[in-house]
Structure 1
Amino acid sequence: MCGSIAIVRSPFETEAVAKSALDRLASRGPDGSGLIFSGSGAIGHCRLALRDHNGGAQPVTLSDGRKLAFVGELYNDGKLRRLLELQGARFSSASDTETLAAAIERWGGETWSKLDGMFAMMLLSAHGDSVHLISDKYGVKPIFYSQTVSTSAAASQPSSLLSCGAVQKAHAVALLHYLRTSQVCLNTQTVLSDVKLMSPGSVVTLFGESANQVRWSASPFQSESLGPCDQSASKLRYLLSEAVYRQSSADSPVGVFLSGGLDSSILAALLQMVRPAPLKTFAVALAGDTDDLDYSKLVSERIKSEHVELVVSPEEFFKSMRELIAERALPLSLPNEVLIYELSKRARDSVKAILSGEGADELFGGYHRLLARVRSDGDWPLFIQRYRNVSSWFSLADLEESLSDPAPLLAAVQTDADYLGELLRDARPDSFLRTLLFRDHFRHLLLRLDGSAMAGSIEGRVPFTDPDVVHFAIGLPEAALMPAFGLEKPLLRKAADGLLPATILRRPKRAFNASLSILFTSNVGQRELNSALQQPLICKLFRKEKLEQILNEDFESQVFHRTWLICSLGLWNELCGVSEIC
């Protein structure tokens, strides 16, 4: 895994800006870096070497003068190489970047649909006056970009764009959306006013002061249903084992982040089967809330992995929270991001990539407890309203009463409704929930995994995004995804039968956990919250008396979701200088 930047225009001197922007990505690529200048533009890359350690340096120059920087992994690299060799291509390294460059030269824009992998590509024109940005089908690897009167640039994380001239101001509508949903972007607009996030499966062209976006990939959830469940479980197990095999291919060790839940446990068990070498697994918990470690240890003993456990104190948590916010220049959405970051720093001494279970809930019915609360009988506007209500951390009433200026709230709600409505436009009514979970919720999970793992110099791979697994899942009838005996994801549990201990197969869903009550009742949590509350952004956002009421209510109920978002925004202001709202 790596990081990349591309600059077409900047208000500052290009060489200095490019070096500064690339330096901000150092944790993503500690094994080497490169910069190429072309006309007024520049493109840069820093590398975390997992394949062909001696080759694979980037950026690379194509025969027509374009410059390519590639972040990600091609899991069908061998197949693509054979096809290209039949067309006359010759290769001098084992790097998939060389494969990609040859594919682009021969197939042009048809290349993207031939790729099985996660990728974020930047193609700088020969004269450096424009850049094409290409994102993978599901948005596993992000590209952020800034296109203003003075700046045209793209990067793997927003902090680099601030170095390029993006203004350090919060976007009012996206900021209120964050408070409502904990999502750091609304459609493509991030909480930073000058920074946007590419949509999955799209191509963005930055040229002059314009940015043009087109989709290269069709949206999922338009397939027909597959066969009966008793046949599907064995097929799912086969498809997952194939996905794990492809995504564990590397010249460096690959491990598993093991929460002890079903999703990561089945990946660990399958990896141990398809790769006989000793498997390394990693688990993390917050001090005072370590029950999950018992389950991850149980799985580790079953599959005989080399297992590492990490217990994070509140003091360590908030120290790493500050590091992560400063590194990415974004507020955090969930406390689990900090735990993943801590675990990545620990794991990087023995592996360079990990498999993670994101996507299983969205594809295989992990959120059916929400279905009864959002059911709308095909009325998608009502469905959208209920979907957001059950997934919101701040209610609309809370925000209307507590904001100093609630005027942008209506725009935030309407913009979000329009965006979700577009995501549902081609969806079947009986799959509305799965569609939004996969098209909306899932991309934010992937963004959090990428940001947290890469800040710790670890590549996160997600086998549940394998095209064959996704195609299988979206064709399943809803009946195959309904809970069985009170447990969600029955088909995935059946696929794991015989691989995992019965205790894990019967265990209800629970993700990597970080108890907010432990954090905010600790001394360090109180200090960090008080520091956050003094920041100008928080003082401008909230009415003082209502803010105090919210905090008191959270402490009385010991449910600290709103407190978490307020604290994260305040630290974002303190660490990244984002105090103005526009």
Structure 2
Amino acid sequence: MVCGIAGILQPGGAPVNAGDLRAMSRALAHRGPDDEGFHHEGGLGLAHRRLAILDLSPAGRQPMPNEDGTVWLTYNGQLYDFEPLRRRLEEQGHRFRSHTDTEVIVHLYEEDGDELLASIDGMFAFALWDARRRRLLLARDRLGIKPLFYARRGGDLAFASELKALLALPWVPREVSASALVHYLYQSSVPGDVSVFEGVRKLSPGEYLVAEDGAIRTGRYWPGPPEHARPESPGSATDALRAGLEAAVRSHLVADVPVGTFLSGGLDSTAVTWQARRAVGGPLHTFSVRFEGPAAYDEGDAALAVARALDTTHHELRLGPDAVRDLPAVFSANDEPFAISSAIALHHLARFAREHVKVVLTGDGADEILGGYPWRHEPDWGRRARPGAALRGLALTGVRSLRGSVGTGPGLAEQLGARLRRLGRPDERYAEIVCAFTPEEMERLLAPDLAPLARAVWADSPLRRAYRAEGGADEVNRRLRADLRTTLVDEMLMKVDRTTMAAGLEARVPFLDRHLVEWAMALPGIEKVRGGIGKIVLRRALLPVLPKVARRRKHGFDTPLGAWLRGPLRGLLRDLLAPEAVRRRGLLRAGVVERLVAAHLGGRGDHSRKLFSLMVLEQWLSERARAPRSTAAPSLAAVRA
């Protein structure tokens, strides 16, 4: 069951303040509207908000104990292998009081201790209390599908599914990290294991934390997918992928509530929907968005054609320019600045779907494991350091974007030179492809006293570190593996979790099934991306059996942001990034921002990603300044500290 979890551990034994724990739980009410539970024990307090998916009876309530109350669990997630694990535990003599996957973890810990992490497959974040040892174990799933934040004060530890629950505690640090803000501007989200606040961290994917005797240690239980490619014939690879996806979808359909799929009409969501329709046999609810506006972004016809071909019960949400009225709610779903614009459509679609189902399967993750972005994943023009190819590639990646950008004027030649120099630095090339701003643009954008952070943060980029760590893979897989550690977690999975859970909807991602990911990462890159075509093996495996419309170019749930910023969002853009507002904040150079706004509104380039990032940052800082003391951001002086 996907839920909200929170807790406090005070090793000194002082009782946890019940009001603090209730406040944390209230902050997570949207994640678990069905039930609320607490467990207090000396210096420990656990909280749980339940979204009931398996065993809807009171037997599924959390926090959940073992038979004698010496092990307690508060858990957010879904195990896809819990049924065989349960049978194994029953054979070993364990007796179950519920039909939940939660109870499987409790008994598995009794048998295997921390080694249970190697056994379980699924999406999860949990806290397990061993009362005999007075020991707390936190863990997050291998790919980071479910989030977990934590903060420390001396030996005290607090944790929660979302940052807002930690901010319900008066002692949690609220000093905004200047470097985190610059990381955000580069990547459109706060990446890695840090948060926007100093002193608050995220547990990384595949990581655990143990708190015992006042000390805390962390470690990894999953090092990542296999490093070495395993060649397969085209036929065996397509058969393996088809079988792997079928198994993943079947396991992800297990629920005691209605399940549907998000359907964009592209290859990934169509593949999941096709497998789900075959597995359920009966009616299957599907959900899509139809945009009123630029035709290039409207996938309504494609989704409807797939739904008709697969005979699903289809629901279509129409979104027009008035969809932006809910933008403050989209912003507030994230406790940190988060500027992935497809969250706008997903925010509305999740609420729409929740009227019909409690669980949806999505096609997310296919691009990251199978090479869905050829422009980003295929070995590019600079790899062989041929000047002619390099210059052509530079044109492809956006010489035009330099005009009217934050680097106009005398800095244009410098920017071109810097990009050419990065051709021989593959980690920087990879990061530049992903980032919204180049280091040169960032230096010009930031206020003079913050500008040195542009280079320092670029040098410490999680994107560059992840790329360098994957040196044993071929170039396509090197980039894909780096994506798994960075943008998959920090952008896509964060977006899916926040938008769906804000609506009380559980989203499952079959393409990120552990076995499917490990198989895909062992497949040579040439089987995934070649000649500007991505997901080659997926196309071979499924296009012959899918509706023809799935062959079209996909957009996912991208929004027509560029047009909206020139239309319904124009007023908000002008208000948030007005020169006087930018000067008053003191983080950015008002003249540079003003030129960027003018260039976009004047049609001299599409700078929507940059501008949206700046708008979200200003909105986030403004909201924090107006918030009550328990959640307020500090002054600008503290931001710059």
TM range (shorter): over 0.9
Provide closer, same or farther for how the CA distance between residues 162 and 374 of structure 1 changes in structure 2, counting only shifts above 3 A.
farther
More deviation, 28-37/518-527:
518-527
Q: Deviation digits for residues 104-161 of structure 1, max 9, x if unmatched?
A: 1111111111112111111235399763210111111111111245962111111111
Out of 165, 177, 182, the position equivalent to 2:183 is 177
Q: Which residue number in structure 2 is paired with residue 167 of structure 1?
A: 173
Shift of residue 541, structure 1, vs aligned partner: 1.1
Structure 2 unaligned spans of 5+: 386-421, 626-632
More deviation, 1-10/525-534:
525-534
Shift of residue 380, structure 1, vs aligned partner: 12
Out of 41, 44, 57, the position equivalent to 1:41 is 44
Tell me, yes or no, if the aligned pair for 2:263 and 2:287 is still in contact at 8 Å: yes
Tell me, yes or no, if the aligned pair for 2:81 and 2:121 is still in contact at 8 Å: yes
Q: Which residue number in structure 2 is paired with residue 464 of structure 1?
A: 511
Shift of residue 574, structure 1, vs aligned partner: 2.3
**CA-atom RMSD in angstroms:** 2.7
Out of 199, 203, 208, the position equivalent to 1:198 is 203
More deviation, 190-199/536-545:
536-545
Q: Which residue number in structure 2 is paired with residue 391 of structure 1?
A: 434
Tell me, yes or no, if the aligned pair for 1:381 and 1:421 is still in contact at 8 Å: no
Cα distance in structure 2, aligned partners of 1:150 and 1:388: 37
Provide closer, same or farther for how the CA distance between residues 318 and 8 of structure 1 changes in structure 2, counting only shifts above 3 A.
farther
The aligned length equals 578
Tell me, yes or no, if the aligned pair for 2:188 and 2:613 is still in contact at 8 Å: yes
Cα distance in structure 1, aligned partners of 2:49 and 2:581: 34
Provide closer, same or farther for how the CA distance between residues 516 and 538 of structure 1 changes in structure 2, counting only shifts above 3 A.
farther
After the TM superposition, which residues 123-138 of structure 1 pair with which residues of structure 2 at under 5 Å, given as runs? 123-126=128-131, 131-138=136-143
Cα distance in structure 2, aligned partners of 1:454 and 1:537: 36
After the TM superposition, which residues 491-506 of structure 1 pair with which residues of structure 2 at under 5 Å, given as runs? 491-505=537-551
Q: Which residue number in structure 2 is paired with residue 514 of structure 1?
A: 559
More deviation, 511-520/58-67:
58-67
Cα distance in structure 2, aligned partners of 1:133 and 1:123: 7
Q: Does 1:7 align with 2:8?
A: yes
Provide closer, same or farther for how the CA distance between residues 155 and 331 of structure 1 changes in structure 2, counting only shifts above 3 A.
same
Q: Which residue number in structure 1 is paired with residue 61 of structure 2?
A: 57
Structure possessing the higher radius of gyration over alpha carbons? 2
Out of 619, 634, 641, the position equivalent to 1:571 is 619
Out of 446, 450, 464, the position equivalent to 1:403 is 446
Instruction: Read off the aligned partner of 1:449 and give its amino acid letter.
Output: V
Cα distance in structure 1, aligned partners of 2:361 and 2:290: 18
- DSSP 3-state at the match of 1:142: coil
After the TM superposition, which residues 196-235 of structure 1 pair with which residues of structure 2 at under 5 Å, given as runs? 196-206=201-211, 211-235=216-240
Q: Which residue number in structure 1 is paired with residue 415 of structure 2?
A: none
Cα distance in structure 2, aligned partners of 1:565 and 1:346: 26
Q: Does 1:447 align with 2:494?
A: yes
Shift of residue 427, structure 1, vs aligned partner: 4.1
Cα distance in structure 2, aligned partners of 1:87 and 1:579: 54
Cα distance in structure 2, aligned partners of 1:124 and 1:526: 51
Q: Which residue number in structure 1 is paired with residue 425 of structure 2?
A: 382
Q: Deviation digits for residues 197-226 of structure 1, max 9, x if unmatched?
A: 111111023468864210011211414414
Q: Does 1:413 align with 2:458?
A: yes
Shift of residue 494, structure 1, vs aligned partner: 1.7
Q: Does 1:488 align with 2:534?
A: yes
Shift of residue 288, structure 1, vs aligned partner: 1.1
Shift of residue 232, structure 1, vs aligned partner: 1.4
> % of aligned pairs identical?
27
Cα distance in structure 1, aligned partners of 2:480 and 2:309: 32
Tell me, yes or no, if the aligned pair for 1:8 and 1:129 is still in contact at 8 Å: no
Tell me, yes or no, if the aligned pair for 1:537 and 1:573 is still in contact at 8 Å: no
Provide closer, same or farther for how the CA distance between residues 382 and 524 of structure 1 changes in structure 2, counting only shifts above 3 A.
closer
Tell me, yes or no, if the aligned pair for 2:467 and 2:479 is still in contact at 8 Å: no
Provide closer, same or farther for how the CA distance between residues 538 and 579 of structure 1 changes in structure 2, counting only shifts above 3 A.
farther
Instruction: Read off the aligned partner of 1:398 and give its amino acid letter.
Output: E
Instruction: Read off the aligned partner of 1:58 and give its amino acid letter.
Output: Q
- DSSP 3-state at the match of 2:30: helix
Q: Which residue number in structure 2 is paired with residue 304 of structure 1?
A: 311
Shift of residue 382, structure 1, vs aligned partner: 1.6
Structure 1 unaligned spans of 5+: none
- DSSP 3-state at the match of 1:450: helix
Q: Which residue number in structure 1 is paired with residue 116 of structure 2?
A: 111
Instruction: Read off the aligned partner of 1:317 and give its amino acid letter.
Output: V
Instruction: Read off the aligned partner of 1:558 and give its amino acid letter.
Output: D
Q: Deviation digits for residues 76-103 of structure 1, max 9, x if unmatched?
A: 1110011101111111211111111111
Instruction: Read off the aligned partner of 2:205 and give its amino acid letter.
Output: P
Cα distance in structure 2, aligned partners of 1:351 and 1:538: 46
Instruction: Read off the aligned partner of 2:589 and give its amino acid letter.
Output: R
